Structure 1
Amino acid sequence: MEKTLYVTDLDGTLLNRSDRINPRSIKIINALTEKGMMFTYATARSLVSASVVTKGLSTKIPVIAYNGAFIFQPDTGEILSQERFTAEEMNEVKGVLEKYNISPLIYAYINGVEKVSWITEKENDGMRRYLSMRKGDRRLNPMAEGEKLYQGDMFYFTCIGEKEELQPVYDFFSNSGRYRCTIQQELYRPEYWCEIMPARATKANAIAKLKKMWGCTKVISFGDAINDIPMFEISDEAYAVENAVEELKAVATGIIADNEHDGVASWLLEHVVFVP
């Protein structure tokens, strides 16, 4: 029998509209994991943010964060795999963002400590909302205009704003083979997020690494958004929740119940087979 790795997206897939996992889903997934199910999540969130919204879920499993830039052991924070920008790539990202007058949130390790840096004078409504939901987060590193924003080992850029102002940035980086860039509307919100990562930082690449780490021969994944398409393409089976975008449903193996009604957990309960 094949040893299967089960991978789910978080926002819009495993998480409900309140950004939490339904208690029934936690109970089902933890019970199956305890029996030996090889299960993880792959998210654009950081480990800090993901740990908050997945409270109660087993922390024994390595998880994929920052859209595949990192694989973490969540109970210890140990980095099992990572992808970062080269110095040349960082300089190019800086130049393009400055050209289009975009002030980003920059995720980097500064002196070995993870930080999220931004210029406070250039905050917009979307950035303020993001920051208001992360009060007390020790990664937050507000900076004044004129301070050195681009520093440390940078691995992820998030630009929040109107689609029209972010589109030129997306067009530049998405047409370059050196980067991975996504743009999509924030879930349940009007603003758009444009995220820039090293080309190697993808959910698909991280899943391939984890598949090898765990000695799995098959991947089954779950998602809801366009950025889950690469993950679906490398999966043996891929299921879109009912609330998923039509583009993802079009490439899915099947459609399952939505994120409000335990779609992922219910599917796992019915279909997971354990290897003797």
Structure 2
Amino acid sequence: MSYRWIVTDLDGTLVDRSLRMVPRSREALRRFRRTGGQVVIATGRSRESAAPYYTELGLTGPAILLNGAQVCDLSTGEVLLDQRLSARAWAGVSQLLDDLPATAAGVAFVGDGAYRVVDSALLDAYAARDRVSLRPVAGWHELPADQISKAMVICANSVVADDLAGRAGALGVTTLVSEPTYVELLPLGVDKGTALTWLADRCRVPLAEVVAVGDNPNDIPMFAVAGFGAAVYGGHPDTCAAATIVVGRCAEGAVADVISHITTLA
């Protein structure tokens, strides 16, 4: 089997704990592109947050963002797919955000912007880590109810996150815990797998010729549709169990390991 696309998660997969792209994986992806392959980033990050890594790889095609809610060509700014919460779902989500305890704080994504209502050390740390600008608004009612791509809650610990994820289950949204303390609320039915399926169909690339790489449960939907799924060693147990293969650690070049493996299969 010859694989045409490598679709890779960023954090914990291609990008290490210091938020730097692992050089061995970066160079392997560049070699893959030189042989005619295409690299697609698939991340929970926004356009602003993902752009530096996209540029570092020298990519020119589409990227899957906000865990599948958006697909954008970051080289041109063209938005190819923008899926949004229903106004009814946003009404419930915004109420949840208003009622958050002091151990959690919310963010909402509209277009290419990210918005906050409260000042919070949790949000400050998130903004610094993901290199995203959080724009203040006086209340969630100021945002257009039919244009919310994703809401996100940053929690002080995993106990708070698990509780919020459970409560969000009745809101008519896709709920996922993308990191132990990050709860994401997406349009119903939206995930990285649905976005990858849409994009591959648009580009006329058979999913059997796609390799997906990731480390967290939000990457499992990609494994379910791609021809080959590779999990990073030390990733979430459910992710490792869903993968075709488990490769090495992120910091040691997990994505490069994947490329080496599929090269031997060609």
Indicate the TM-score class for this superposition, using the shorter chain for normalisation. 0.7 to 0.9
Whichever residue aligns with residue 264 of structure 1, its letter is V
CA distance in 2, matches of 1:60, 1:184: 26
| 1:226 corresponds to 2:221 | no
User: For the structure 1 residues 268 and 185, does the alpha-carbon distance in structure 2 shift closer, same or farther, using more than 3 Å as the test?
Assistant: closer
Equivalent runs, 1:1-276 vs 2, <5 Å: 4-101=4-101, 103-109=105-111, 114-121=112-119, 123=120, 125-133=121-129, 139-144=133-138, 147=139, 150-152=142-144, 153-162=147-156, 163-175=158-170, 178-183=172-177, 185-186=179-180, 192-217=181-206, 218=208, 219-272=210-263
Decide whether the 8 Å contact of 1:104 with 1:118 is kept in 2.
Answer: yes
User: For the structure 1 residues 10 and 185, does the alpha-carbon distance in structure 2 shift closer, same or farther, using more than 3 Å as the test?
Assistant: closer
Measure how far apart 1:100 and its partner are.
4.6
CA distance in 2, matches of 1:30, 1:185: 28
Whichever residue aligns with residue 210 of structure 1, its letter is L
SS at match of 2:243: coil
CA distance in 1, matches of 2:140, 2:225: 40
User: For the structure 1 residues 141 and 43, does the alpha-carbon distance in structure 2 shift closer, same or farther, using more than 3 Å as the test?
Assistant: same
Measure how far apart 1:233 and its partner are.
1.7
SS at match of 1:14: coil
SS at match of 2:11: helix
Which range is displaced more, 264-273 or 77-86? 264-273
Q: What TM-score do the two structures reach when normalised by structure 2?
A: 0.86
User: For the structure 1 residues 270 and 239, does the alpha-carbon distance in structure 2 shift closer, same or farther, using more than 3 Å as the test?
Assistant: closer
CA distance in 2, matches of 1:74, 1:232: 24
CA distance in 1, matches of 2:187, 2:179: 21
SS at match of 1:60: coil
Measure how far apart 1:252 and its partner are.
1.5
Whichever residue aligns with residue 211 of structure 2, its letter is I
CA distance in 1, matches of 2:130, 2:12: 19
| Identical residues among aligned pairs (%) | 24
SS at match of 2:177: strand
Measure how far apart 1:49 and its partner are.
0.8
Q: What TM-score do the two structures reach when normalised by structure 1?
A: 0.83
Q: Note the aligned Cα RMSD (angstroms).
A: 2.6
Name structure 2 gaps, 5 residues minimum.
none
Measure how far apart 1:197 and its partner are.
0.7
Whichever residue aligns with residue 28 of structure 2, its letter is I
Decide whether the 8 Å contact of 1:12 with 1:243 is kept in 2.
Answer: no
Measure how far apart 1:206 and its partner are.
0.6
